[in-house]
Amino acid sequence: MADKDKVVIFDTTLRDGEQSPGFTMNIKEKIMLADQLIKLGVDVIEAGFPIASDGDFEAVKMIADRARGVQIAGLARANEKDIDVAWNAIKGAENPRIHTFISSSDIHIVHQFKKTREEVLNIAVDAVTQGKSFTNNVEFSPMDATRSDPVYLAEMVHAVIQAGAVTVNIPDTVGYAIPSDFNRLIRYLFEHVPNINDAIISVHCHNDLGLAVANSLAAIEAGARQIECTVNGIGERAGNTAMEEIVMAIRTREDLFHVHTDINTRQIVPTSRLLSNITGVSVQPNKAIVGGNAFAHESGIHQDGLLKNAMTYEIMKPEDVGISKSTLVLGKHSGRHAVLDRLASLGFTLDKEETDRFFRLFKALADSKKEVFDEDLMVLVGEAFFKGEDQRRYKVENVQISTGMFSPPMAMVTIKDRKKGSAEQFEVAHGNGGVDAGVIAVKKITGTTAHITSFNLVAITGGSDAVAEVHCTVAEEYEGKELKAFGSSANIDVSIAGIHSFVDALNKLEYMKMAGQRGREIMNGVNGKV
Ligand code: KIV
Ligand code: ZN
């Protein structure tokens, strides 16, 4: 027996979505996305418009032939050739669906087709009848339904259901509807089409006024039980109903809608990311459900509430959409609670004096930086612990690198060692590149037994003159234990940044040796996380 509370999710990312500028996909990409849509649990995949091109036909056919556990729809205009071609593309599917359409609005009938209402009605019925000769699973769409005369629309819906359409889709083709009047239109059809219960009523909303999801929800309230939607809301012009938004609205407000979908919501974000990766078009950070900021909080008041109970500022669990956890973005709006919580999660517990010093340093940094990352916090912890005094043992006085295609990279490094009365020491070394040569020279000068365990390079500005930021971790045996230290530096020259970050890490190792057990615990915490 049909579940009257189930909303069928009809995904048209590969058809309406793919036909919009910037979202074209090749066959391999379409197959990859179709596989993911199956994992996501959509009920129907509209795989394409087979008559549109040989490539479209091929892609629909390949998806139909391999996809299992999902219905595969092929779109066809209401004419013999389109329907034949669509059937040939989808007939290998486990459950193929022909989706045929023709406009019901006078604007289209008169100006585009130059036909009468009666002619169009007959074409619609003939198309459904032809589709039924291939499969029982025929869907019909009266295009531009929301600008059609409701009386004529009801007549057409009645006629196509009588001809055998098992799904009738009411498209808001130009995104003209407003939730209240779309709800009225769907109710009108339920009240005036005598055989309406013989079909599932679907809606297909475009987002020209930013109302596609709201209109789809209004239609569900009026009795619609299929939603046509796309991943990330892509589609013609301003796009279609966003799958992730409609699914999570239904789920989050089940108390209101009393319906459900079979979507595995944990696959929502992976699906969204896959589409962005394939098309190279990312979603805006504030996009509902799947945007980078959708589960990120920066306000101090919100962060404080969330840490006490996630319900205070979150209506959905990030895990439910496939994100491991919410992020508290640390920046100038963050409060002490959030910052200290992040420190604790990184393994640090500071005493009152250290905390006060740390928080002052944090605020100063946050004022000059959009976002404070874990690496920044670690550096600040080190500084807070060492009271900001300059206790660095080694100071790099000069670095000169020479390299070329036919000469081995060479570094000349001069360092002052405070333990040796700040005398300048100089070494030359060759290596596999400028950084390696410099590190070897530094090792010769300092005699350190520390070795680099990680080395990360990030370009923090763009262009060939980008500033390079280098983070490195070093490890050294000390009193039977392994000490680890984290160093960082930024410079326009990557080799110089690399050498400075190595020396910075060596200085921290020296701090740790001086700092006794407590200092080593803190600093090892700093470095162990990097
Ligand atoms: O927007 C529309 O009307 C369509 C139909 C083909 C359903 O995409
Ligand atoms: Zn559309």
- What string of H, E and C letters represents the secondary structure of 347-398? CCCCCHHHHHHHHHHHHHHHHHCCCCCHHHHHHHHHHHHCCCCCCCCEEEEE
The reported pLDDT for the residue numbered 381 is: 75
Which residue minimizes the CA distance to atom 2 of ligand 1? 173
Structure token pair of residue 5? 């509370």
Chain centroid to Cα 413, Å, comes to 45
State the closest ligand 1 atom to the C-alpha of 75, by its place in the atom list counted from 1: 6
**Alpha-carbon dihedral angle through residues 517, 521, 523, 528, given to the nearest 10 degrees:** 140
Centre of ligand 1 to C-alpha 307, Å, is 45
State the closest ligand 1 atom to the C-alpha of 228, by its place in the atom list counted from 1: 7
Topology adopted by domain 8-279:
TIM Barrel (3.20.20)
State the closest ligand 1 atom to the C-alpha of 236, by its place in the atom list counted from 1: 1
- Per the DSSP assignment, residues forming a β-bridge with 237 are none
> Which ligand has the shortest distance to the CA of 145?
1
Q: What is the C-alpha to C-alpha distance for residues 12 and 48, in angstroms, rounded to an integer?
A: 8
Write down the CATH number for the domain with range 394-527: 3.30.160.270
The reported pLDDT for the residue numbered 504 is: 87
Which ranges in the chain are annotated with CATH 3.20.20.70?
Answer: 8-279
The reported pLDDT for the residue numbered 157 is: 98
The reported pLDDT for the residue numbered 385 is: 66
End-to-end CA distance of the chain: 57
The reported pLDDT for the residue numbered 357 is: 82
Q: What is the C-alpha to C-alpha distance for residues 232 and 61, in angstroms, rounded to an integer?
A: 25
Number of residues written out for the chain:
530
The reported pLDDT for the residue numbered 392 is: 76
Q: Which sign does the torsion angle of CA 442, 443, 449, 453 carry? A: positive
How many other β-carbons are positioned within 10 Å of the β-carbon of residue 249? 21
Structure token pair of residue 445? 């000068």
**41: alpha, beta or left, given left = phi > 0 and alpha = psi -120 to 50?**
left
Q: Which residues form the pocket of ligand 1, taking CB atoms under 6 Å from any ligand atom? A: 16, 101, 141, 143, 169, 171, 173, 204, 206
Provide the 3-class DSSP secondary structure of residue 202.
strand
- What amino acid is encoded at 249 in this protein? A
Determine whether 116 is exposed, middle or buried from the number of CB atoms within 10 Å of its CB (0-12, 13-18, 19+). Answer: exposed
Q: What is the C-alpha to C-alpha distance for residues 98 and 373, in angstroms, rounded to an integer?
A: 52
Which ranges in the chain are annotated with CATH 3.30.160.270?
Answer: 394-527
Backbone angles phi, psi at 2, to 5 degrees: -65, 140
pTM of the entire predicted model: 0.73
Q: What is the C-alpha to C-alpha distance for residues 199 and 157, in angstroms, rounded to an integer?
A: 10
Residue whose structure tokens are 């945007």 = 291
Q: Which of 153, 206, 240 to mutate to test the pocket of ligand 1 (most atoms within 8 A of CB)?
A: 206
Angstrom CA distances, 157 to 140, 197, 210, 351, stand at: 9, 11, 27, 73
In the chain, which stretches have pLDDT less than 70? Answer: 1, 347, 375, 379, 382-383, 385-391, 460-462, 465-467, 515-530
